[in-house]
Structure 1
Amino acid sequence: MDSTKVAVLGECVADAFATGSASQGELILRVLPGGSPANTAVALSRLGTPTRFFGRISRDSFGGLFRTHLEASGVDLTGCVTADEPSTLAVATLDESGQAGYSFHAEGAADWAWSEAELTAERFGDVSCLHTGSLALVRAPGAEHIERLLGQVAGWATVSIDPNVRAGLIDPAVYRERMPRWCALADVVKLSDDDLRCIHPGEALDRVCDTWHAAGARLIVVTRGSHGVTVSLDGRRATVPAPATDVVDTVGAGDSFTAGLLHRLHTSGLLGGRLDALSLDQARDAAAFAVRVAALTCSVAGANPPWARDLDG
């Protein structure tokens, strides 16, 4: 692998949506490929950033769905492990505003079974950036090995983390305890305002950002729905407004935002190392581009991020 590539590490999830009301004793589900890291990899590749995905993809039928979806978007899967364990299944329920809630079926799944031998720094090579987060960063036994890997690649690559809190599956106290460690490893921390409230309930955004800067993270980006985005670089902050969007649903929007942010930093030549050359204006510009990518994702059903051509004009 060369340093022109961005690596994404984490889970694939089969997102199941009910296609109608239960009738005659059965419920019909439509299953789409998802998972926060996999969604981010797809969106990055569609935007034109060379992307390699590192995941443990099951041999089951869902695993075949994941591979087809990722490859169709141009994602390099040569870093993936073919696993005997089952895929993770998430059953989604959409509310009236299009916000998705999930119930997870994740015990013993392939995504969390990383071994130390499967996650060596040599295997990742000289990438410009490694992005990870979500459930892969909190579920044993793989989470410990991922944290160790982040510490190793931080010597030459920009490290990006999205905690993507799943409070219904993981106690928020776990995120609260680990965030200082993650901030010490990460150059970019992206999260939603819901994530922030789960991790530090009742605390002001500015105070939380400053705490995480002190722990080591240079760039913190908080998405706030219709209120836009807060960008915090070493304690200096800016706001990016959210465009008016006809929202179909918000599935995958946060992952598309992450991809847009990293893509813009990549095309600006800023990824690699500790982001020492990054200015607040450049960070704001990257977030403004990311907001456009996320808005386009919200305008269609499911985690279906735009291609670069969709952002022309």
Structure 2
Amino acid sequence: MTVAPGDDRDPPRVTAVGAAAVDEWYAVSNLPEPDGGAYASEVETAPGGVGANVAAGLDRLGREVGLVSRVGDDEYGDLARSWLAETGVDGSRVSVGDDPTTRSVILSAPDGERAIVTAGESFRELRLDPATLDSIVASEVVFLTAYTPDRVARAVLDRVLEMGEPDRPALVFDLSGPVEELAGRGTEPETVHGYLHRADLFVAGGVAAPAYFGGREAAVDRLRAVRDASVGPAVLTHGADGMTAIVDGEATRIDAFDVDVVDTTGAGDAFLAGLIDRWLLADGRAAGRGSAEERSRDALVDAVRFAAAVAAINCTERFTQTGLPTREEVESFLAARGVELR
């Protein structure tokens, strides 16, 4: 659905800024080494893109969410928009341009590990008109990934910083991708630095964090120093090795759930959806912002465990969006493992 820039509907509770992409999925015999090869026993096409994945994850959990993105005027763009239309995500701010739609080739090995190669300029060329920027910052929560073009990430950050409390939205930033992958394509280090010090929730993956901070332990130390009670928490994800939650300068390790992995593609995006849901939306904005008590270590650990359950369930199915669980499925998963959240 395309809505004119002057559309005055109420903004969704959450706005995700990120790619709505097409994943071309190859079930390979192995992830090839340099100069090596592999055989693909199956080839399928599925919806993807960090922004669309996080938005779809929140939608599956029953949240009102919209997506700001850009696709190409091609068959991949048609696919991306048709898949989005099958969800409850508001896609009225997904624009269409002349550049090829962003798409990824995903090599998925039998153990669930994968390698990803992304192409297509459509999301990289995203621009924000005034009406779209106004709509973004009018939401209660705004999510951005480091794959967001720098001019867009900077515009959102600058506008939010101009807004006074309590009018501004809560900012969630996902440090996804190493520096060399994002260069000239995504959010630049200077802007990442701004989100590091200003975002209400800062999340970094196991590949991206060492690239920016010089290693896992260095990332923990840096985030402990920066993410104090006046800023908000941070979470580092380490894949099967679990997560590190940092709140009020204290770091806590949390184990991942053990499941039979089918495909890890999009597990981080599923985790982000669960974390936003539990930390920032469960009891309104105050669940993740406000007094020190509301940002307590126990509350954050519970949010991370909930998010870890969302990601674990996602890993038991092929493709990201088809494996995203409902709230009832997450609650059943946790109950079966004797996990009680406060």
Q: What TM bracket, shorter-length normalisation?
A: 0.7 to 0.9
User: Are the equivalent residues in 2 in contact too, given 1:189–1:217 (CA < 8 A)?
Assistant: no
2:232 to 212, 218, 225: 218
2:274 to 253, 260, 266: 260
Residue in structure 2 matched with residue 310 of structure 1 by the alignment: 329
Residue in structure 1 matched with residue 22 of structure 2 by the alignment: 14
| TM value normalised by structure 2 | 0.78
Using the TM superposition, give the Cα deviation of residue 269 of structure 1 relative to its aligned residue in structure 2, in angstroms: 2.0
Name the count of aligned residue pairs. 305
Are residues 35 and 216 of structure 1, via their aligned partners in 2, closer, same or farther at CA, if it must alter by over 3 Å? farther
Deviations 1:249-287 (A, max 9, x none): 110100000000111124422427971132221111111
Asked if 1:93 is matched to 2:107, the reply is yes
Are residues 137 and 97 of structure 1, via their aligned partners in 2, closer, same or farther at CA, if it must alter by over 3 Å? farther
What is the rounded CA distance, in whole Å, between the counterparts of 1:2 and 1:269 in structure 2?
Answer: 20
Deviations 1:120-157 (A, max 9, x none): 5422363110001131144xx54444444454568511
| TM value normalised by structure 1 | 0.85
Higher relative contact order (CA 8 A, sep 6+): 1
1:290 to 286, 301, 307: 307
5+ unaligned residues in a row in structure 1: which ranges? none
What is the rounded CA distance, in whole Å, between the counterparts of 2:84 and 2:123 in structure 1?
Answer: 16
User: Are the equivalent residues in 2 in contact too, given 1:160–1:187 (CA < 8 A)?
Assistant: yes
What is the rounded CA distance, in whole Å, between the counterparts of 1:220 and 1:290 in structure 2?
Answer: 14
User: Are the equivalent residues in 2 in contact too, given 1:9–1:131 (CA < 8 A)?
Assistant: yes
Residue in structure 2 matched with residue 32 of structure 1 by the alignment: 46
* Equivalent residue runs for 1:130-141 within 5 Å: 130-138=142-150
Q: Give the % identical residues.
A: 24
Are residues 92 and 57 of structure 1, via their aligned partners in 2, closer, same or farther at CA, if it must alter by over 3 Å? same
What is the rounded CA distance, in whole Å, between the counterparts of 1:236 and 1:293 in structure 2?
Answer: 24
CA RMSD of aligned residues (A): 3.1
What is the rounded CA distance, in whole Å, between the counterparts of 1:250 and 1:90 in structure 2?
Answer: 15
Residue in structure 1 matched with residue 205 of structure 2 by the alignment: 192
What is the rounded CA distance, in whole Å, between the counterparts of 2:229 and 2:257 in structure 1?
Answer: 32
What is the rounded CA distance, in whole Å, between the counterparts of 1:193 and 1:166 in structure 2?
Answer: 10
The residue identity in structure 1 corresponding to 2:264 is T
* Equivalent residue runs for 1:134-283 within 5 Å: 134-138=146-150, 142-152=152-162, 155-166=167-178, 169-171=181-183, 176-202=189-215, 203-213=217-227, 217-271=231-285, 275-276=289-290, 277-283=294-300
Asked if 1:110 is matched to 2:122, the reply is yes
Are residues 19 and 287 of structure 1, via their aligned partners in 2, closer, same or farther at CA, if it must alter by over 3 Å? closer
Counterpart of 2:301 in 1: which secondary structure? Answer: helix
Deviations 1:180-208 (A, max 9, x none): 21223311011222221121224534312
Counterpart of 1:78 in 2: which secondary structure? Answer: strand
The residue identity in structure 2 corresponding to 1:157 is P
Deviations 1:208-253 (A, max 9, x none): 2124426974110111222221111121222322111111111010
User: Are the equivalent residues in 1 in contact too, given 2:11–2:139 (CA < 8 A)?
Assistant: yes
5+ unaligned residues in a row in structure 2: which ranges? 1-8, 30-39, 333-342
What is the rounded CA distance, in whole Å, between the counterparts of 1:279 and 1:269 in structure 2?
Answer: 14
